Amino acid sequence: MGRWVVMPTYNECENIPPLLREIFLVVPDVEVLVVDDKSPDGTADVVRTLQSTYPRLHLYVRDRKRGLGSAYIDTFQRLIATQGFETVTTMDADFSHSPHYLPQMHHLAEQYEVVIGSRYIGGGGTEGWGRRRRLLSASGNFYARLITGVPIKDLTAGFVTFRRAILEKIPFDQIHSTGYAYTIESKCLAIFAGARVIEIPIIFKDRRKGVSKLSRQIIFEAVRAPWHARSVSGQKP
């Protein structure tokens, strides 16, 4: 049980079966943990059915929808307390992140504490996004870099491999974001804890099925997150 892939879900019953099939074809020895926030569409039931097909498939159902950041923090703490593992990779459950990048990320994690699947370095990019969403994402990353001083091109990336050693050093109680802004705070805290980081180019594709979870609340939280990460580092405004 050396490598884990963690995927938070909320109403992803259509995407989960084909995505799991692809993951286990590419990296058959990985442990996959689906963290479901009690999806009303029956995502957890679909995963339970698939567990007979995939022995390395695990399910953790939480009591209610509490957000992406909350799901990752809760899961990291549980894994550290109960499992022996080398790395954990976070990825979306909607095919935005291709499983075919996993072998490269796992290989690089032998040298780096954090490996980021980046849209904003040479060779990376997005598919299926409109102009407004591209502008929002690019400007958000520029803003986060400017405030935190962290030299990562894609601070909001959700496709990330962490080594256990760095996860154990991250003060999760100091992460205030419950939504997507968690991605900014977690990377900054990893770097402040001494992590060696590398970004690899990926093509981020818009979700195949289902509805995007992006909201005004998520955007507002992302505006605050870089300032909080900066304060944790001890930097002065």
Mean pLDDT computed over 69-82:
92
Closest by Cα among 181, 199, 182 to 124: 199
State pLDDT tens for residues 141-167: 888 888 888 889 999 999 999 999 999
Q: Which tops the pLDDT comparison, 181 or 15?
A: 15
Angle at Cα 200 formed by Cα 194 and Cα 206, nearest 5°? 120
Q: How many domains does the chain have?
A: 1
* Least confident segment among 3-17, 99-113, 221-235: 221-235
- What is residue 237's predicted lDDT score, i.e. its pLDDT? 42
Contact 172, 76 (CB under 8 A): yes
- CA distance to 7, 32, 56, 82, 141, per residue, from 28 (Å): 16, 10, 9, 22, 34
- What is residue 74's predicted lDDT score, i.e. its pLDDT? 92
Contact 187, 90 (CB under 8 A): no
SS3 string of the chain?
CCEEEEEEECCCCCCHHHHHHHHHHHCCCCEEEEEECCCCCCHHHHHHHHCCCCCCEEEEECCCCCCHHHHHHHHHHHHHHHCCCCEEEECCCCCCCCHHHHHHHHHHCCCCCEEEEECCCCCCEEECCCHHHHHHHHHHHHHHHHHHCCCCCCCCCCCEEEEHHHHCCCCHHHCCCCCCCHHHHHHHHHHHCCCCEEEEECEEECCCCCCCCCCHHHHHHHHHHHHHHHHHHCCCC
32 strand-pairing partners: 5, 57
- What is residue 220's predicted lDDT score, i.e. its pLDDT? 56
pTM: 0.89
CATH number of the domain enclosing 42: 3.90.550.10
Tokens of 155: 């601070």
Calpha distance 209→169 (Å, rounded): 36
233 pLDDT more than 70: no
Angle at Cα 96 formed by Cα 92 and Cα 101, nearest 5°? 85
State pLDDT tens for residues 29-44: 999 999 999 999 999 9
Tokens of 191: 């770097």
What is the phi/psi pair of residue 51, to 5°? -65, -25
Q: Which domain holds residue 82?
A: 3-233
State pLDDT tens for residues 176-219: 777 778 888 899 999 999 999 999 999 998 865 555 545 555 55
